Amino acid sequence: MIKTALNLLEKLNNGGFEAFIVGGAVRNKLLNLQVKDYDITTNATPQQIKQVFDGYDFVEAGIKHGTVGVIVDKNVYEITTYRVDGDYFDHRRPKNVTFSTSLKEDLTRRDFTINALAYDKDFNIIDYFDGVTDLKNGIIRAVGDPKKRFTEDALRILRAVRFSAEYGFTIEKNTLDAMIECKSYLKDISSERIFIELNKTLCGKYCAEALYTCKQILFEVIPELEITDGFLQFSLAHDYDVFNHTLVAIRSSKSNKPAVMWSLLFHDIGKPYCLTFGEDGYGHTRGHMQISHEKIKPILERLKFPTKLKEEVLQIVLDHDTTISKSKYEVKKYLSRHGLELTQDLFYVKLADNTAHSTIGIIRYAKSVKQLKYYLDEIIENNELYDINKLAISGDDIMSLGVYGKDVGFVKNELFDKVLQGEVENDKTKLIKLATSICKNLKN
Ligand code: ATP
Ligand code: MG
């Protein structure tokens, strides 16, 4: 809450200290975007911060680096003492940090001019590096010498790509050149950090443009994608090479959920391994879905994907080019196996993938995508059954008809299938009646 943050600034001022809101909160306020959290910077030392906020609860995990988390109404406000970072090692971490009494020094260590802005409790902007101009012009520019800054901390390279993807900003030429020059230092960045930044990049509104400009950075962290760049498809259904098709699909996506965006990034990664030519001279990539599925397994492991996201992306990539909507029954079967969320995400992937084809390709595949949407909407609207656990008859009900063991599951599956086929309603009395006749047949 801005009110609370300003209140904290005032309390520090009243204690005789300087205090400013800094970083993302300033940037997003000037951009008129939602502010997620308020970071405060001050010349008070952690000890002095704790004295000013005597009686408050604190989070002290970051205290070594000068950060005291002050808890107000269950929210944590991070208050950090002005800092200068010592020499860096490992292209990520400073050897030591020292506290400073100068706001300018603190702002100098920040990554980009648009992130090196601060304001005081009266909203006076402090801007030593022309960050406001860069913000107005939509430019990402390193503070100081870009090569030095990316050599110190290579994570900044991915942060630049990410901010460009989120805000649609252009990366200033020297900054971009230095990112590319320093890209090999990304090997020192942990997989977890790489995943977080790429994930945010992919969910950014301008992701495709950012990845187009920064493809060398993308290929540095996911080298397996490089083979798709410039790989031609020799197909009437395609206007682009595989990588550019991927970017167009990403740009066309109507959902920016991580599962959708990662699946789009990877869906055709297997194509270069299976291109064959028909007698007509056109290219075919039959089986590319399985190859994509196999190729990305080690990537998802390496980037330490969260389990649920990993499983979803693997499944969607495997199914992205399979028709699952020839009938409503087929859609329900898919839903019963994979659930609503994944099926909806698969729809968004198919839709974006389809949009990124040539006109001929769009016409060829649009029907099955439309049909999937049509059936999905109908199933949801009518609250039609696709989850066996919601069948109106239980295992106990079936056992009470005199069947046991494996037969119970068999009968239940039969009933479920008949409901999916629309042959019987999901109504207990009707299902018992049908179950009775199935059980009778079983016993004979
Ligand atoms: P958001 O929270 O929207 O992702 P942010 O800019 O607030 O963006 P944070 O990671 O929360 O990003 O960092 C807060 C501020 O700390 C940044 O605005 C920047 O000033 C500084 N900062 C963060 N990471 C780095 C870094 N690797 N190098 C230099 N400065 C950094
Ligand atoms: Mg932040």
Determine whether the shortest distance from the Cβ of 353 to ligand 1 is under 6 A. no
How far lies 234's CA from each of 203, 292, 311, in Å?
30, 19, 32
Identify whether the C-beta of residue 317 lies closer than 8 Å to the C-beta of residue 362. Answer: no
Q: Which atom of ligand 1 has the smallest separation from the CA of 110?
A: 30
| Residue 116 Cα to ligand 1 middle (Å) | 9
Pair 283, 275: CB distance under 8 Å = yes
Cα-to-centroid distance, 239 and ligand 1 (Å) = 39
pLDDT of residue 443: 72
With a 6 Å cutoff on the Cβ, whether 24 touches ligand 1 is yes
Ligand 2 centroid to Cα of residue 412, in Å, is 51
Radius of gyration of the chain (CA): 28
Q: 89 pLDDT exceeds 90? A: no
Quote the pLDDT of residue 363. 83
In a 3-state reduction of DSSP, which class is residue 124?
coil
Looking at every residue in the chain, the average pLDDT score rounds to 95
Residue whose CA is at the smallest distance from ligand 1 atom 18: 23
Asked if the model's pLDDT at residue 433 lies above 80, the reply is yes
The atom of ligand 1 lying closest to the CA of 153 is: 27
Residue 280 has pLDDT above 90, yes or no: no
Ligand 1 pocket member 155 (CB < 6 A): yes
Q: Shortest CA distance to 420 belongs to which of 352, 337, 351?
A: 337
Ligand 1 atom 7: the closest Cα is on which residue?
24
Band (pLDDT 50/70/90 cuts) for residue 172 is very high
The pLDDT, as a whole number, for residue 211 is 98
User: Does 359 have pLDDT greater than 80?
Assistant: yes
Q: What is the DSSP letter of 79?
A: E
Indicate the pLDDT class of residue 361, thresholds 50, 70 and 90: confident
Going by C-alpha positions, the residue among 390, 387, 409 that lies closest to residue 398 is 409
* pLDDT interval class at 51 (50, 70, 90): very high
Residue 362's pLDDT is: 81
Q: Three-class SS of residue 37?
A: coil
* Residue with CA closest to ligand 1 atom 6: 24
**83 within ligand 1 shell (Cβ under 6 A):** no
Q: Report pTM.
A: 0.95
For residue 12, the number of C-alpha atoms closer than 13 Å in the C-beta half-sphere is 29
Instruction: Let me know if domain 2-137 sits in CATH 1.10.287.3510.
Output: no
Closest atom, ligand 1, to C-alpha of 155 = 27
Collapsed DSSP state (helix, strand, coil) of residue 283? strand
What is the residue with the minimal CA distance to atom 22 of ligand 1?
Answer: 110
Specify the ligand 1 atom closest to the Cα of 107: 20
170-171 and 139-140 strand pairing? parallel
Specify the residue with its C-alpha closest to ligand 1, atom 14: 23
3-state secondary structure 340-366: HHHHHHHHHHHHHHHHCCCHHHHHHHH
> Ligand 1 within 6 A of 85 CB?
no
Check pocket membership of 110 for ligand 1, CB cut-off 6 A: yes
Q: Which tens digit of pLDDT belongs to each residue from 100-138? A: 999 999 999 999 999 999 999 999 999 999 999 999 999
Residue 365's pLDDT band (cuts 50, 70, 90): confident
Ligand 1 and 91: CB distance under 6 A: no
**Residue 125: strand, helix, or coil:** strand
Which class is 142-221 in CATH? mainly alpha
